[in-house]
Amino acid sequence: MYSTPRRRLLGAALALPFVSIHAASGQTLPLTPVCGEKPPPTPAQTPGPFYTPDSPRRTSLVEPGAGGERLVVSGFVLSPRCTPLANALLDFWHCDTAGDYDNSGFRYRGHLFADAQGRYRLETIVPGEYPGRTRHIHVKVQAPGGRVLTTQLYFPDDPRNRSDWIYRPELTMRVTRESGRRDARFDFVVT
Ligand code: FE
């Protein structure tokens, strides 16, 4: 009985650094994903014509003075058994607010790694649209030693999803609007 308050205090002290680190980074994902025993693999999609290899490693694609609405894309990289895949590689690219890709440099291109719990987090802006496509973000995902999954992510509120022949509902992010930005969540399942 005597030790209970002490134990509580110790627990609180241990928990504090974790909480504050997460609050500081804006990371709100839990430590473990919530998914069924066998989540379906994330469907592959065409990379399109605008992939550039060797993108810089960075967690933010936001340019100084960038216009556009801020967007945070986060989630887990998981195995088909729903286990987090630590250190998975994610290579993102998307067009600017005018619908143009940077094909000579690396604007709105970058790669990052999932953490030890399989979590990733990218800061960027909401991409524009270009003729013939609904709004989307391209990404390649690869667990260490695994296959490369090339796919695209979509926004739930874009009316052009219905007329885009590449769009697939399974690749739609869950998007919530925070103050001045959109938070998008997507969990990848790769082999
Ligand atoms: Fe594209």
CATH number at residue 48: 2.60.130.10
Ligand 1 center to 58 CA (angstroms): 20
**pTM for this one?**
0.84
User: Within the chain, where are the H helices?
Assistant: 3-25
Q: What is the pLDDT of residue 128?
A: 95
Ligand 1 center to 7 CA (angstroms): 54
Ligand 1 center to 95 CA (angstroms): 7
The torsion angle over the Cα atoms of residues 115, 175, 171 and 167, rounded to 10 degrees, is: -140
Number of domains in the chain: 1
Ligand 1 center to 9 CA (angstroms): 52
Q: Which residues contact 17 (CB under 8 A, 6 or more apart)?
A: none
The conformation of residue 27, written as its DSSP 8-state character, comes to -
Ligand 1 center to 138 CA (angstroms): 6
The CB density around residue 116, as the number of other CB atoms within 10 Å, is 9
Ligand 1 center to 99 CA (angstroms): 9
Task: For residue 60, give the amino acid letter.
Answer: S
Ligand 1 center to 176 CA (angstroms): 23
Ligand 1 center to 46 CA (angstroms): 9
Ligand 1 center to 120 CA (angstroms): 21
For 23, the domain range is: 4-189
Ligand 1 center to 41 CA (angstroms): 22
Ligand 1 center to 4 CA (angstroms): 57
Ligand 1 center to 69 CA (angstroms): 18
Per-residue pLDDT of the chain (191 residues; tens, 9 = 90+): 334 444 443 333 333 333 333 333 445 677 777 777 788 999 999 999 999 999 999 999 998 888 889 999 999 999 999 999 999 999 999 999 999 999 999 999 999 999 999 999 999 999 999 999 999 999 999 999 999 999 999 999 999 999 999 999 999 999 999 888 999 999 999 99
Q: Are 122 and 152 in contact (CB under 8 A)?
A: no
Ligand 1 center to 26 CA (angstroms): 28
Beta strands at 70-78 and 188-189: parallel, antiparallel or unpaired: parallel
Ligand 1 center to 191 CA (angstroms): 24
Q: Are 183 and 72 in contact (CB under 8 A)?
A: yes
